[in-house]
Amino acid sequence: MSTVPFRRQERVNLSTAEVLIVGGDADGLEILAQMFAGFGVHTPRRCAAGAEAMTVVGERDLNLVVVDSQLADTDGYDFISWLRRCGSPNAWAPAILVTGHTTSSQIFRGRDAGASFVVRKPVLPLVMMQRIIWLLSDPRAFVTSPGYCGPDRRVRSIGPPVGMKGRRHDDLSVEVGEAKTPNLEQDEIDALFQPKAISR
Amino acid sequence: MSVARIFKVENRLAKVARSPGGKTVEEAVRGAEQRIESVREQCIAALATKADQLAVLSAGDRGAGAQDTMKGLYNISNAIFGVACVYELDALAEAACSLCDLLHGFRNGETINWSAVDVHVDGIRLLATGRSEGALSVLAGLRKVRARFVSAQS
């Protein structure tokens, strides 16, 4: 078995999780469905077409959506984009986009459609489980705007554009203000990198 | 200026997954690997059918409907790649990915070179049906073709 980069005894209980798997290729869909069954999901819902998956989104409270980039009637990007704007609580369900042949433009397209993660094939169980574990503690807020709906795409906080004051309460200022405390001496900085035992 | 709304949502996946019971991560991964292995034969058998579909499609409309033909070829070769790489059929996965690279470039406005497509389709059929003892030489040929076109496209 592959080496698991997690705590060996970490537990996940996906037995009652509502997982929707959407993919246009029957064999690819079968592989993903088997993977989630192996993870312990009792009834992974599988759909080949986006239209069919839209019906499921309207009927079930989903915990996770896994979408292949190729569907029978549309593509995974459009489906995720629709999901994020569908108006039901499922709009905020974590969505993993699975891609085969992958160009960088497709990764950006997946991100901008609102995917929580884009995973390139081969999607091994270990990789999928790693993404699920990450999603369990995903700190990202959700964003809705006319141009984008989905998890916050900002991975770096670089402040508002130059010349703008910012429009969100959590924007950082571009200006670096005056220091509020004295500069550290080099030996004080070095000490921060040399942990010492603390006497109790 | 557009108004963006930023808010936290309940993590329903975590709520379910962190409930008592379930499996250890190690058990879950092992279980998934075993389940995927259990459908190996049927998925690999379907690869030959997909390769035949590639051949039929590539012999189809190369005129006005060439873009549709290429889209279909791309989808099938992408599906072949997806299955082949899971079951570590590396040569087949590489050949299918190579065809996807070519078609991606041709779909972006490059002049379509059908000979390059045909040689890929033939190579994929050989590899998918397990009739190629010389998988390495097939791959070497496809790499040359791909290098010629993909470098010209980029």
Cβ contacts of A30 on chain B, cutoff 8 Å: 39, 42-43
Which among B3, B25, B104 has CB closest to A12? B25
Determine the pLDDT at residue B145: 83
CB contact under 8 Å between B17 and A142, yes or no, is no
Per-residue pLDDT tens listing for chain A (200 residues): 445 556 767 899 999 999 999 999 999 999 999 999 999 999 899 999 999 999 999 999 999 999 999 999 999 999 999 999 999 999 999 999 999 998 888 899 999 999 999 999 999 999 999 999 999 988 899 999 999 999 998 866 666 667 776 666 666 665 666 777 777 777 777 776 765 666 55
The mean per-residue pLDDT over the stretch B108-114 comes to 79
Cβ contacts of A12 on chain B, cutoff 8 Å: 17-18, 22-23, 25, 28
d(C-alpha A117, C-alpha B13), whole Å:
15
d(C-alpha B153, C-alpha B98), whole Å:
13
Whether residue A139 is preceded by a cis peptide bond, meaning omega within 30 degrees of 0, is: no
Cβ contacts of B43 on chain A, cutoff 8 Å: 27, 30-31
CB contact under 8 Å between A12 and B28, yes or no, is yes
Q: Where are the domains of chain B?
A: 45-153
The predicted complex's ipTM stands at 0.90
Of B101, B110, B28, nearest to A37 by C-alpha is B28
Number of Cβ within a 10 Å radius of residue A191: 12
Through-space distance between the first and last CA atoms of chain B, rounded to whole angstroms = 37
CATH superfamily to which A19-158 belongs: Response regulator (3.40.50.2300)
Determine the pLDDT at residue B33: 97
Q: Compute the half-sphere exposure of residue A110: CA atoms within 13 Å on the CB side of its CA.
A: 24
State the pairing for strand pair A142-144/A149-151.
antiparallel
Through-space distance between the first and last CA atoms of chain A, rounded to whole angstroms = 44
Asked if B4 and A145 count as a contact pair (C-beta separation under 8 A), the reply is yes
Strand ranges inside chain B, DSSP E: 5-7, 23-24
d(C-alpha A127, C-alpha B40), whole Å:
19
Determine the pLDDT at residue A173: 61
d(C-alpha B4, C-alpha A168), whole Å:
9
To the nearest whole Å, the CA of A177 is away from the closest chain B CA by 27
DSSP secondary structure string for all residues of A58-72? HHS--SEEEEESB-S
d(C-alpha A40, C-alpha B24), whole Å:
10
Q: Tokens 């094939």 map to which residue?
A: A121
Q: List the single range of A30-34, A170-174, B121-125, B130-134 with lowest mean pLDDT.
A: A170-174
Number of Cβ within a 10 Å radius of residue A185: 9
Q: Where are the domains of chain A?
A: 19-158
Cα three-residue angle A38-A57-A87, rounded to 5 degrees:
135
Tell me which fold the domain B45-153 belongs to: Four Helix Bundle (Hemerythrin (Met), subunit A) (1.20.120)
C-alpha distances in Å from residue B58, one per residue of A91, A165, B74, B122, B135: 39, 56, 11, 10, 22
CB contact under 8 Å between A100 and B34, yes or no, is no
CB contact under 8 Å between A126 and B29, yes or no, is yes
Q: Tokens 């839209």 map to which residue?
A: A54
Determine the pLDDT at residue A169: 64
CB contact under 8 Å between B13 and A168, yes or no, is no
